[in-house]
Amino acid sequence: MAGLRKGHCYNRITRPYTRHSRVKAKSYIKAFPSNKIVRFEMGNPNKKFEYEVGLVATNAHQIRHNALESSRQIINRRLYNELGHKGYHLKLLTYPHHVLRENKILGGAHADRLQTGMAHSFGKPIGLAAQVYQGTIIFTTKVDQEGLNVAKKALSLSKPRMPGKYAIEIKKIEL
C-alpha cells in the first residue's frame, strides 16, 4: 500500500481539471473523504481574555486536513498542559473545503519503467484541503498576560507541521 503522497504535491493553489461529460453524473465528485479535524474550538470560550495571538499565512498555499489536525493537537496540548482548560481559548478559523484528487499510477516491480497515466484524468478523491491566501488567519488563541509567551511558543511549534510560511500576530483586546 502506497499511503499519502508528499504534501508538496498539493500545496500550490491551482484550479483542478473539471470533467465535462455528456453523461451528467460523471461530471461530479461522487463521495467526499471525511474531514479529519475533530474540533474547531477548544478551551474556555466564555471568559474575556486580554490578548489574541494569531497564526497568519504569509503566502498563498493549500493545507491538507491532516496537517491542520496535527497542528491543532500540538497547540491544544501545549496550552492545556501549561494553562489548564480554563486559561485559554483556541479556535481554528480555516475549513478544508477543497477536494484533492489523485490519479493512481502504477510502478513496475523492478522500477525500470513507470506508467505514464492519462492527461486530464479526473482521479479519485483522497483528501481535503483548505486554500489560504496571504494574510489569512489560521489559528487564534485568546490568553491573559501570563499565558502570552506560552501561546506564542505553542503556535510556533505548529509551523513545521504545515506547508507554507507563517507569522505570529499579537493583538490586545479592548475590554
Sequence-separated (6 or more) residues with CB below 8 Å from residue 57: 132, 133, 134, 135, 136, 137, 138, 164, 165, 166
Predicted confidence (pLDDT) per residue in 155-169, tens digit: 999 999 999 999 999
Q: Is residue 88 part of a domain?
A: yes
Q: What is the CATH number of the domain that holds 166?
A: 3.90.1170.10
Residue at 89 is within a domain: yes
- Evaluate whether residue 157 is within a structural domain: yes
Radius of gyration from C-alpha coordinates of the chain: 20
Look up cell 485559554; give the residue: 88
Domain assignment of residue 129, yes or no: yes
Mean pLDDT for each consecutive 10-residue tract of the chain (175 residues)? 71 77 81 89 94 96 94 96 95 92 68 64 84 96 95 96 95 86
Q: In this structure, is residue 8 part of a structural domain? A: no
Indicate the pTM of the whole model: 0.85
Structural domain that includes position 68: 50-100+124-175
Domain count, the chain: 1
Please report the pLDDT score of residue 116 as a whole number: 66
Please check whether residue 118 lies inside any domain of the structure. no
In angstroms, what CA-CA distances link 124 with 29, 62, 80, 97, 164?
Answer: 8, 18, 38, 16, 25
Q: Is the dihedral of CA 12, 13, 14, 17 positive or negative?
A: positive
Question: Does residue 45 lie within any of the structural domains?
Answer: no
Residue 55: the pLDDT is 97
Q: What is the pLDDT of residue 1?
A: 44
Q: Does residue 148 lie in a domain region?
A: yes
Residue 27: per-residue pLDDT: 79
* Alpha-carbon span 137 to 161, nearest angstrom: 16
DSSP string, 97-115: -EEEEE----B-TTSS-B-
Q: pLDDT digits over 113-135, tens only?
A: 656 667 667 778 888 999 999 99
